[in-house]
Chain A
């Protein structure tokens, strides 16, 4: 299959984006059993499987909302790989055991898509941590900027001049960018 061609299973991604309950239920009915089976056979239980599936779906929703997530392989294979790798990473973290992740039986296309989703998830969590590191003034200003959108109104709501709000926003974004660029996690993710 052409690697760049959108797969017909894109409908699941669209359904998640639209928060379509029918589609979400069908994802559970069709694709969850395989993941549950895998996790239960690899030191996990129903509760852990429930968390992994739910977190993976939220990550896919976030990725699709922020980037143009184009599915080029069947959703089944992609979703299973995302959940499987997520679970293996978790075992690795909690048990300090060396876990080798190798997927000999999957195509490069599926693997690539799943890896991108997991890198995306790690980046989101890093962005969140770094955002929390900002000063309260910066956090507040950025929150207002993205809530209200118009910089004039942001300035008004904070009782500062437009020029000051804009300059301060730029400084806060600069600070945040710097935190991210200098973090060892980011360097690792980008290597």
Chain B
């Protein structure tokens, strides 16, 4: 068995010659599948331990982030239910008043950047050993201190120049600061890539155009965002108001 584990290990770590790999894989397919079962348990356990122990810190960061997002999402929902239960009629009445008020104030004016540029608190992914700098940047951004955040993002990018998440947030800070050309160059680059941020980048590119009152260009960019984008409602709202 010990011998067997060493063979499994060598196979998983790529320490076998081509002939040894072929022999081992042939053995795995013989009729009696006990070797195959042992191998699968061994492989799954190795992956489990590597993930649970080796990536412990990263896993904790993920769980904390999920827990924060979940808490925020559900507290809004539960709050709504509570409000509805006790203030059902009053809520409906006041929402009609608010809606009417909004109609009077916002219609038929053009949409403005400040109505849509509501940045949720960010929580940056830790990569490498730039933990402290990331935390500072995150705090400044969440605080609305975009100049300081922008400076810190530049610093982080000096050592991690391909970090798409940071490039995106740097661009958002730049829009806030009115540095449109740099922001738009970065956002265009991200939106052409294959990361998880392409639609986010397009959304902020559109907001940058909106802030500069370039309405046609804003519309053009909005129309390239994928169906089902998380801010679909706001997106349609802007389109409706611009068209």
CB of A11 within 8 A of CB of B196, answer yes
B30 within 8 A of A: no
CB of A67 within 8 A of CB of B2, answer no
A164 within 8 A of B: no
B96 within 8 A of A: no
Taking the closest CB of chain B, its distance from the CB of A4, in whole angstroms, is: 20
Contact among B45, B78, B230 with A127 in the assembled complex (CB-CB below 8 Å): B45
Contact among A20, A46, A180 with B78 in the assembled complex (CB-CB below 8 Å): A46
**Given A123-B44, A147-B54, residue A46 in contact with residue B2 (CB < 8 A):** no
Contact among A22, A29, A177 with B45 in the assembled complex (CB-CB below 8 Å): A177
CB of A170 within 8 A of CB of B73, answer no
CB of B77 within 8 A of CB of A21, answer no
CB of A18 within 8 A of CB of B77, answer no
CA gap between A143 and B63 in the complex, in Å:
20
Taking the closest CB of chain A, its distance from the CB of B47, in whole angstroms, is: 4
For window 53-73 of B, CB contacts with A under 8 Å fall at: 53-56, 58-59, 61-63, 65-67, 69-70, 73
User: Closest residue to B58 on the A side, CB-wise?
Assistant: A19
A58 within 8 A of B: yes
CA gap between A66 and B195 in the complex, in Å:
21
Taking the closest CB of chain B, its distance from the CB of A164, in whole angstroms, is: 13
Chain B residues lying within 8 Å of A49, measured Cβ to Cβ, are 74
CB of B66 within 8 A of CB of A143, answer no
Interface-side segment among B107-115, B119-127, B143-151, B208-216: B119-127
For window 127-183 of A, CB contacts with B under 8 Å fall at: 127-128, 131, 142-143, 145-147, 149, 167, 170-171, 173-174, 176-177, 180-181
A113 within 8 A of B: no
**Given A20-B125, A32-B73, residue A67 in contact with residue B50 (CB < 8 A):** no
CB of A57 within 8 A of CB of B66, answer yes
**Given A19-B62, A22-B230, residue A146 in contact with residue B196 (CB < 8 A):** no
Taking the closest CB of chain A, its distance from the CB of B64, in whole angstroms, is: 10
CB of B61 within 8 A of CB of A25, answer no
Interface-side segment among B20-28, B34-42, B83-91: B34-42
Taking the closest CB of chain B, its distance from the CB of A166, in whole angstroms, is: 9
Taking the closest CB of chain A, its distance from the CB of B191, in whole angstroms, is: 14
Contact among A25, A30, A61, A173 with B69 in the assembled complex (CB-CB below 8 Å): A25
For window 55-94 of A, CB contacts with B under 8 Å fall at: 57-58, 61-62, 65-67
A42 within 8 A of B: no
**Given A54-B70, A180-B41, residue A142 in contact with residue B53 (CB < 8 A):** yes
Contact among B41, B52, B197 with A22 in the assembled complex (CB-CB below 8 Å): B197
CB of A143 within 8 A of CB of B53, answer yes
Contact among A62, A149, A180 with B51 in the assembled complex (CB-CB below 8 Å): A62
Q: List 10 A-B contacts (CB under 8 A).
A: A18-B196, A28-B70, A29-B73, A29-B230, A49-B74, A58-B62, A61-B62, A174-B1, A181-B38, A190-B37
